[in-house]
Structure 1
Amino acid sequence: MAQFIYTMKGLGKVYPPDSVVFRDIYLSFFYGAKIGIIGSNGSGKSTLLRIMAGLDEDYLGEAVLSQGYTVGYLPQEPELDPTKNVWENVNEGVAEVRALLTRFDEINAKFAEELSPEEMEKVLEEQAAVQDRIDAAGAWDLDSKIEQAMDALRLPPPDADVTKLSGGEKRRVALCRLLLQSPDLLLLDEPTNHLDAESVAWLEHFLKEYKGSVVAITHDRYFLDNVAGWILELDRGRAYPWEGNYSSWLEQKQQRLAQEEKAESRRQRTLQRELEWIRMSPRARQAKGKARLNAYEQLLAEETAGKIERTEIYIPPGPRLGNVVVEAESLRKGYGDTLLIDDLSFTLPRGGIVGVIGPNGAGKTTLFRMLVGQEKPDAGTLRIGETVQIGYVDQTREALSPDRTVFEEITGGEDEVQLGRRTVNARAYVSWFNFKGRDQQRKVGTLSGGERNRVHLAKLLQRGCNLLLLDEPTNDLDVDTLRALEEALLEFAGCAVVISHDRWFLDRIATHILAFEGDSHVEWFEGNYQEYEADRKRRLGAAAEQPHRIKYRKLTR
């Protein structure tokens, strides 16, 4: 086998007439390397993966998979066979191995026949050869492995019709199929999207132990920290490889920015604050979260101009919060004959930032709909304070006009934007969300998922509110925008409730965790995600290590 599994020489991609995506990439990947690709939305990350997968052949230079190696690719919108159910689609990934098991059974059946010595020798030779291949593939307990992977990734039931699955469910089925296929080179485009935090942790461990090479586009920074041995950053048409994980990459990135930008920029200061957080001990991080709860008045009193200058994204505060923000007592909510939430009680303090976690379909968005009054609890009380003004950023992103430019969609075409009691230059405001120069003139209909998410956030964060509800704001966002959003929330003089599976994001911002743990139980915990995880393992023991499909109690009225 060749020393390198994949080689790029002078690789470039240009869209006519002169739009350069990237150029002059010279890279070689060792077998077994784990590489995380990062860069802003639109920097060419997905294009690079499509070239590596052999799906895009319109490029400059060379991109070569070494002979004898296999490649597998998970796109952002994978395709499944509509004529097959979930189990049958997943089994496509192990068709070759299952054929070996079938052949082994056929060979064993031959021993019941009358065979000549020569025939017996041939059958024994083939049995030994097939057995060696099954041993090498570790396939004797194949069905058990499939079931374990399906459970860990929380796939729909095996007999489910794939044409009726959501986009997220289809991605999980396709990811499961690909992981079981075990190609030499795994290419993953945002593999953690639509996975809850527990399933991401399982995937992280799986890929860390994976024998082949892994190249993954991801914004999940714990994933980049714990799995990646290399970081490949795409920035303004260039590729910058870095040997090390995300934390070490961040250090050199700050140094590179300092050399490029003489005056200390807001972006440099944002990077510096994330580095400071990385270097903190767990106890210091916990103290920082507690300090926020005691600093509400201080946050409110800070001068707006100073915050706008200090942060990349600024969220204007609404009116001063009273003593009551949100209080839930013995809350109960069902859907159909399924009990989603049972006996939930909590009090959200002023300045609190709540991370809401749990599998898809567990009831997280239903909780948000109750908070904004779109649904009512079946039992118990949910009290919203009189001074609370809610700003709700939902998952749909459908209210965007595809024919308007980014600038028009965010600002309404005005020269200035009103942020609370302060006006800001409209072009400058749009640039905070990583739309700079001619990017502001792009049509909304041409944007990627992450870019649409940024437009959506920019529109809704202009409104003065004191309780922000954010439903999966981290999906499809690039690392730079995620970092800026974290800073904005930490500086926000109000409360936020955030549905997210991004563990790094939750560790940096959350003062509390609201966890949908299954069996209709929702756990309210004071602390960030890591502290919650430690508590969950203490409560549940060994059962906490392996994610399972979520179960609910039946609704009895």
Structure 2
Amino acid sequence: MNYLSVENVTKSFGDRAILNNISFGVAQGQKVALVGVNGSGKSTLLKILMDMEQPDAGEVIFRNELVVRHLLQNPEFSEGQTVLDAVYLDTDETHLLLKQYERALLKASNGEENHEEVQQLIEKIDAAGAWDLESQAKQILGKLGIHQMDADVSKLSGGQQKRIALAGVLIQKPDLLILDEPTNHLDIETIEWLENYLSQANMALILVTHDRYFLEKVTNEIIELDGGKLHAYKGNYQYFLEKKAEREANEATNIDKAKNLYRKELDWIRRQPKARGTKAKYRVDAFNDTKAKAFSGSQTQELKLNAKASRQGKKILEVEALSHGFADKQLIQNFSYTFQKQDKIGIVGPNGSGKTTFIRLLLGELEANSGEIIKGETTKFGYYRQIEPNFNGEQTIIEFAKSIAEVVEVGKGKTIGVSQFLTRFLFPPDVQYKPIGKLSGGEKRRLQLLQILLQSPNFLVLDEPTNDLDLITLNTLEEYLEAFEGCLMIVSHDRYFMDRLVEHMFIFDSGTSVKDFPGNYTDFRQQQQEESKPTTQVKETAKKSTPKEQKEKKKLSYKEQREFDLLEKEIPKLEEKKAALIEALNTADSDHEKLAALSQEIGEITDLLDEKEMRWLELSEFA
């Protein structure tokens, strides 16, 4: 059954065609993701579907009596609107009944004598057969952490408002749900619950998200917007990647063929007498068609990140017995850690567990209640905040960039001008003189990232860096961070991003402990699931094992196995780095300072190698 038909929709802004004659349909149970680079028209298309924007041509047709709901990235609520008002509709009799029932329960909990009112509402809900909806609503609200039904929504945080708006559209049980970045501002556990809910729900879905695990699990069709055109792929994210690569390879081949034909046709056109009016019209038309095809290949813009990090010294950052909290809520208790070179750490935990507070303590923005944080002399932080920086809206992009640096070092002693660096950040010369105030949200986030990298930090702290970035930009950022030579610390709800980049994690558990877990997010979740399984009791035998038998029976724990696997990856890398340093030492000139620095670094790596190899030997006996 077809729910939605989009027919020949076109939309332009000025002389730029965002959507060019696109058509597609959505059927019952179909779950569709819109993907494309920032500026490709995803948000514009969603606004057209939600009747917030009108197309220049074409039409959007919904099936009669279809219940359609949508969730924007940043939902808005009126002042004084309570959670109850936000999640239940006044226009729906059953919703209105449940809202009255919840209000009556709130009165009763506040000591008001209203037993008769509650009993009457119970009878009405019985008669309406609405207890299933009430139960489902309670489950959704509970899973999203919504408990204060009389709270003023306008006074809550952005994350809480997003949860309430999400609860509202889910409770309303639409036939078709439209979601714009539904995972933003949600913690990882909530995201996992939401993807399970949506993957099993009997509703059609159109969503925009950068969360690749979410795409993989929830969607069964992906629509890519590229250069105003639409490309549909029947399958999940992995299938989309495979077929997109095939399509682009075929297009490149066809464009090459068209260019060869174009050259021949161009030669024929030029050889015809100018005064001759009898040129074969079909040849001229074919020439124009071939020309259009030959130059149809859009210039794929790619973000290029290769700013060089400042050199790091031996001491990076040491945390000793750190404790901190606010009023009666303790967030961190007696935490100690010594950061090593090229540490790649992920930070996870529920909202309010102290993740951002911990970062601000490390960066010196907050003073700890107790403990000590010792920063190395050469450690240079770069902090990508969850909140967009306060840019001067009237300042142009090039003025802003030049206020930080005129030239940028990009490795191996090479430097480039800041304008060229801006171009690599997808700010071409004709855009560089645009006021920052006219940039989109995604462009401002990209400028924020540029601001940080221009300062050549050697310790990057990224707080929710994936918000507002498209998939292509995300992939490029990941490649840069994989090769980043400094320390990296990430707070993110993007599980794919975390899995690809981090080697161990700090786990915040809404209490006072911060655990250092050796592995990425999927490893951590796997361990959690294993620990939650019921354990079987094994009866002890009367016969005692010999020391040899005990050694044979010992197995590595999950944590030890993960440590062993990491050591097998780290040791070859350290050996390669040591060999490169020895080669540099052998070929170095007579600069004594440089020779001394190389010798010191070789000594440090040798000590680290000895330590890791000894640990590997210990673990290998039981692996």
If the length of structure 2 is used for normalisation, what is the TM-score? 0.69
Aligned residues: 465
Describe the shift of the 1:340–1:539 C-alpha distance in structure 2 as closer, same or farther (beyond 3 A): farther
In 2, are the aligned partners of 1:225 and 1:246 still within 8 Å (CA)?
Answer: yes
Q: 2:185 aligns with which of 185, 188, 194?
A: 194
- Residue 12 (1) aligns with residue 10 (2): yes
CA 1:489/1:536 → structure 2, altered by over 3 Å: closer, same or farther? same
In 1, distance between residues paired with 2:245 and 2:349?
Answer: 34
> 2:460–2:488: 8 Å Cα contact kept in structure 1?
yes
Alpha-carbon distance in structure 1 between the residues aligned to 2:402 and 2:42: 29
For 1:52, give the aligned amino acid: L
Q: Residues 325 and 154 (structure 1 numbering): CA distance in 2 closer, same or farther, change over 3 Å?
A: farther
Alpha-carbon distance in 2 for matches of 1:486, 1:36: 22
CA distance in 2: counterparts of 1:167 and 1:98, whole angstroms: 25
> Could you report, residue by residue, the CA deviation over 1:356-382 in whole angstroms, capped at 9, with x for unpaired residues?
122333211111111111112222333
Change (3 A) 1:193 1:415: same
Report the equivalent of 1:40. 37
The answer to whether the Cα contact below 8 Å between 1:321 and 1:494 also exists between their aligned partners in 2 is no
In 2: Cα distance, 1:98 partner to 1:333 partner: 44
Match of 2:279 in 1: none
Alpha carbons 2:9, 2:55 under 8 Å: kept = no
The corresponding residue for 2:46 is: 49
Per-residue CA deviations over 1:233-287 (Å, capped at 9, x if unaligned) read 111211211111111211222333445568xxxxxxxxxxxxxxxxxxxxxxxxx
**Helix, strand or coil for the counterpart of 1:232?**
strand
CA offset digits 1:418-458 (Å, max 9, x no partner): 44753124344223333346444443212222221111001
Residues 448, 151 of structure 1: alpha-carbon distance in 2 compared, 3 angstrom cutoff: farther
Q: Does the aligned pair in 1 maintain the 2:27–2:204 contact within 8 Å?
A: yes
Which residue of the other structure, out of 351, 363, 366, is the alignment partner of 1:375? 366
Q: Which deviates more from structure 2 when the two are superposed, residues 91-100 or residues 383-392?
A: 91-100
**Does structure 1 residue 208 correspond to structure 2 residue 199?**
yes
Determine helix, strand or coil for the equivalent of 1:360: coil
Residue 239 and residue 409 in structure 1: after superposition, are their counterparts in 2 closer, same or farther (change >3 A)?
farther
The answer to whether structure 1 residue 350 and structure 2 residue 341 are counterparts is yes
Which residues of 2 match residues 20-39 of structure 1 at below 5 A?
Answer: 20-39=17-36
Residue 412 of structure 1 deviates from its aligned partner by 4.5
Match of 2:164 in 1: 173
Structure 2: gaps spanning 5 or more residues:
102-123, 254-301, 535-623
**Residue 523 of structure 1 aligns with which residue?**
515
| In 2: Cα distance, 1:191 partner to 1:79 partner | 15
Q: Kindly tell me: are residues 22 and 99 of structure 1, through their superposed partners in 2, closer, same or farther at Cα, counting changes over 3 Å?
A: same
Find the counterpart in structure 1 of residue 227 from structure 2: 236
TM-score (norm 1): 0.77
**Higher RCO (Cα < 8 Å, 6 or more apart):** 1
Report the Cα distance in structure 2 between the residues aligned to 1:386 and 1:143, rounded to whole angstroms.
Answer: 59
CA distance in 2, matches of 1:194, 1:379: 30
- CA–CA distance in 1 between the matches of 2:330 and 2:39? 42
Give the secondary-structure state (helix, strand or coil) at the position aligned to 2:239.
helix
- In structure 1, which of residues 460, 470, 479 is the aligned counterpart of residue 462 of structure 2? 470
Which residue of 2 is the match for residue 537 of structure 1?
529
Assess if the C-alpha contact under 8 Å between 2:10 and 2:55 holds in 1: no
- 2:493 is aligned with 1:496: no
Q: Does the Cα contact within 8 Å between 1:419 and 1:464 map onto a contact in 2?
A: no
Task: Give the match's secondary structure for 1:312.
Answer: coil
Q: Is structure 2 residue 378 aligned with structure 1 residue 387?
A: yes
Mapping of residues 313-328 of structure 1, within 5 Å: 313-322=305-314, 324-328=315-319
- Over the matched positions of the two proteins, sequence identity in percent amounts to 36
Query: In structure 1, what residue type is equivalent to 2:71?
Result: L
CA deviations on 1:127-150 (whole Å, 9 max, x unpaired) are xx997974xxxx425444333322
Name the stretch that deviates more: 42-51 or 148-157: 148-157
Instruction: Give yes or no for contact 2:36–2:470 (8 Å, CA) kept in 1.
Output: yes
State the distance in 1 between where 2:147 and 2:425 align: 36
Query: Deviation digits for residues 309-363 of structure 1, max 9, x if unmatched?
Result: x9931241111341x4333343211023211122333333321111112233321
CA distance in 2, matches of 1:423, 1:93: 62
Corresponding letter in the other structure for 2:513: H
1:198 is displaced (CA, Å) by 1.0
User: Residue 509 of structure 2 aligns to a residue in which SS?
Assistant: strand
- Contact 2:40/2:227 (8 A) holds in 1: yes
Higher alpha-carbon deviation: 234-243 or 248-257: 248-257
| Change in 2 beyond 3 A, CA 1:141/1:162 | same
Correspondences of 1:262-301 after superposition (within 5 Å):
none
Amino acid at match of 1:519: G
User: 1:539: how far off?
Assistant: 4.0
Provide the secondary structure at the position in 1 that maps to 2:193: helix
Residues 1:512 and 2:504 aligned together: yes
Q: Which residue of 2 aligns with 1:449?
A: 441
Aligned pair 1:92/2:89, yes or no? yes
Indicate conservation of the 8 Å contact 1:40/1:480, yes or no.
Answer: yes
| CA-CA distance at 1:59 after TM superposition | 3.3
Q: Aligned partners of 1:429 and 1:325: how far apart in 2? A: 28
| 1:485 to 2:477 alignment | yes
**Change in 2 beyond 3 A, CA 1:364/1:101:** closer
Instruction: Kindly indicate whether the alpha-carbon contact (under 8 Å) linking 2:88 and 2:99 is maintained by their aligned counterparts in 1.
Output: no
Aligned pair in 2 of structure 1 residues 102, 326: CA closer, same or farther (>3 Å)? closer
Tell me, in whole angstroms, the C-alpha distance in 2 between the residues paired with 1:7 and 1:98: 30
Over 3 Å counting, the alpha-carbon distance change for 1:502 and 1:82 in structure 2 is: same
Task: Assess if the C-alpha contact under 8 Å between 1:433 and 1:481 holds in 2.
Answer: no
The whole-number CA distance in structure 2 between the counterparts of 1:242 and 1:132 is: 46
Q: What's the offset of the Cα at 1:180? A: 0.9
Shift in alpha-carbon separation, 1:479–1:132, aligned structure 2, 3 A: farther
- Give me the whole-angstrom Cα distance separating, in 2, the residues matched to 1:165 and 1:198: 20
Note the C-alpha offset of 1:101: 6.5
Alignment partners' CA distance in 2, 1:405 and 1:261: 36
1:36 Cα deviation after fit: 1.0
Residue among 316, 332, 337 paired with 2:328: 337
Contact 2:322 2:333 in 1 (8 A): yes
Mapped partners of 1:242, 1:143: distance in 2: 38
SS of 1:518's equivalent? coil
> How many angstroms does 1:7 deviate by?
0.4
Q: Which moved more, 1:88-97 or 1:230-239?
A: 88-97
Quote the RMSD (CA, aligned, Å). Answer: 2.9
Over 3 Å counting, the alpha-carbon distance change for 1:226 and 1:454 in structure 2 is same
TM-aligned CA distance change 1:534 to 1:381, over 3 Å:
farther
Equivalent residue runs for 1:76-155 within 5 Å: 76-92=73-89, 95-99=92-96, 134=129, 139-155=130-146
* Equivalent position of 1:293 in the other structure: none
Counterpart residue identity of residue 52, structure 2: L
The corresponding residue for 2:616 is: none
